[in-house]
């Protein structure tokens, strides 16, 4: 378990972009699905002129887990974190959507850390490039994560 977090916190890290189709000034906007009536959303700062941006942005979403709520458990089972990667538009031009990453939250039902790179998509089509994301919770949503360890001990008696 990640004991530096409280039981109701989710820590979201948007780490880096990998292999974007072209060198752009980019940023990421995320939307977390719970609580549903007031979905937490925020953005990273803009990383300039690269196809492999290092965002290194960490957001702590306080109160994004309510273990007593069935709706919360359903949200983690069925819904996803949505991250949109945008490229900054030039002078008088609006920003362009490079692609969207959806991260299913279901693995957090049984584990504390979800860390992977996810493909940028345009609808069902790959947009090119990936986004590395890490999500941490103190304890898994439905079960405690238990790691079985066996140690051999050598006892020397005198």
Per-residue pLDDT band for 147 (boundaries 50, 70, 90) equals low
Q: Given CA atoms 55, 46, 28, 42 in this order, what sign does their dihedral have?
A: positive
Judge contact between 121 and 127, C-beta under 8 A. yes
Q: In the chain, what are the domains?
A: 10-137 (2.60.40.150)
* Beta strand ranges found along 4-147 (DSSP E): 10-18, 24-31, 41-43, 47-50, 54-61, 80-87, 96-104, 113-122, 125-137
pLDDT in tens, 49-93: 999 999 999 999 998 888 888 888 889 899 999 999 999 988 888
28: pLDDT strictly greater than 70: yes
Evaluate whether 61 touches 40 at the Cβ level (below 8 Å).
yes
Q: pLDDT digit string (tens) for 108-118? A: 988 999 999 99
Q: What is the pLDDT of residue 86?
A: 95
Pairing state between β 125-137 and 10-18: antiparallel
Instruction: State residue 67's pLDDT score.
Output: 81
SS3 content of the chain, % helix, strand, coil (to 5): 10, 45, 45
């Amino acid at each position: 378990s990640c004991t530096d977090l409280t039981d109701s916190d989710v820590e979201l890290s948007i780490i880096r972009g990998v292999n974007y189709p072209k060198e752009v000034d980019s940023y990421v906007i995320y939307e977390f699905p719970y609580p549903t009536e007031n979905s937490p959303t925020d953005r990273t700062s803009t990383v300039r002129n690269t196809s492999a941006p290092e965002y290194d942005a960490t957001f702590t979403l306080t109160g994004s887990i309510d273990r007593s709520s069935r709706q919360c458990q359903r949200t983690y089972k069925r819904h996803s974190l949505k991250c949109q990667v945008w490229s900054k538009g030039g002078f008088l031009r609006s920003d362009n959507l490079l692609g969207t990453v959806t991260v299913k939250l279901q693995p957090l039902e049984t584990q504390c850390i979800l860390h992977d790179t996810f493909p940028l998509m345009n609808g069902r089509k790959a947009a090119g490039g990936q986004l590395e994301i890490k999500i941490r919770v103190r304890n898994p949503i439905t079960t405690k994560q238990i790691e079985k360890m066996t140690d051999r001990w050598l006892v020397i008696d005198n």
